[in-house]
Amino acid sequence: PAPAGLPGDPDPEEAVSDDSSRHGGRVRGFPHERGNWATHVYLPYIAQEEFLELLELLVCRARTYVPSLAAMEEFHLSLSQCVVLRYHWIEPFVRSLRERLAAFHRFFCVADQVKVYTNQNKTRTFIGLEVSAGHFQLLELVSEVDGVLEEFDLPTFYKDPSFHISLAWCVGDLSGRLEGQCLRELQDIVDGFEESAFLLRIQWEQIRCKSGNKYFSFPLR
C-alpha cells in the first residue's frame, strides 16, 4: 500500500517521454519505469546577479570552442548520484536522511577552479566550478547520505569525488575541445572577475532531495 502522508498520486505525475529532442538531446541515464522515481540529494545554490554576469562571460568565451554549449538554468552541488527509488520507499528514505543530517551546521566552501566533466556514459559534457576549500565538510555530508543509500541497497557516491557546481553543458563528449587553451582562458576570466573572491565563497544553508516531482528540504543548523 502507498504510505500515508505523501502528497500526490502514487502513479508519478511526471509524464514521461524518452524523446531526447524534447530536452536538448539529453539521454536518460536509465530507462523510465512506472513507479520508479529518479532521486538526487544535493546542495542548492541560488545564483546572484554577479554570478550570472560571470556565467555569461564564461559561456560566451567557451562557445568560441563549442558553439552548442548551453548555460545551466539552476545550480547545485551534488551529494549523491541520481538513483531510482520505488514510490513506497520515498517516505522512509527522506525520514532517514532527515535523521542523519540533523546535526550538521552551515558551512562555507570555495568553488573557483574551472574544470571540464563528462557524465558516466559520455553523452554530455559539462563546464563546472570545482571546490577548492570545504572538501572535508562535503565528504562528511556524503558519508551520511551514502549511509542512507546503503540502507536501500542503492549506489553510493563516487569514490574520491570532484565536488563542483555545473555551469554549462552540451550533448556528446566534447571535452577535448574545452580542455587545454579554452580551460585556461576560462580560469583567467574567473581569476580576473572583480567579485570572484567574494562571489565564489559559498555558504551552504540547506540540503535538498528531489524525488520525481517532489522536493524535500533539510535546513543546516
| Catalytic choice (76, 88, 105, 135) | 76
Q: Across the chain, where does the E strand assignment appear?
A: 36-45, 70-71, 75-78, 83-86, 107-118, 124-133, 164-171, 201-204, 206-211, 214-219
The residue annotated as part of the active site, out of 40, 105, 135, 164, is 164
Q: Any catalytic annotation for residue 32?
A: no
Residue type, 78: S
Cell numbers for 131: 571546490
In this structure, what are the phi and psi dihedrals at residue 176, rounded to the nearest 5 degrees?
Answer: -60, -35
Query: Who contacts 84 (Cβ-Cβ below 8 Å, separation ≥6)?
Result: 30, 36, 37, 38, 39, 154
Phi, psi of 27 (to 5 degrees): -115, 135
Is 88 a residue of the active site? no
CA distance 147 to 145: 5
**Residue 179 is which amino acid?**
E
Q: Is the dihedral of CA 183, 188, 194, 200 positive or negative?
A: positive
Q: Mind telling me the catalytic residues?
A: 76, 164
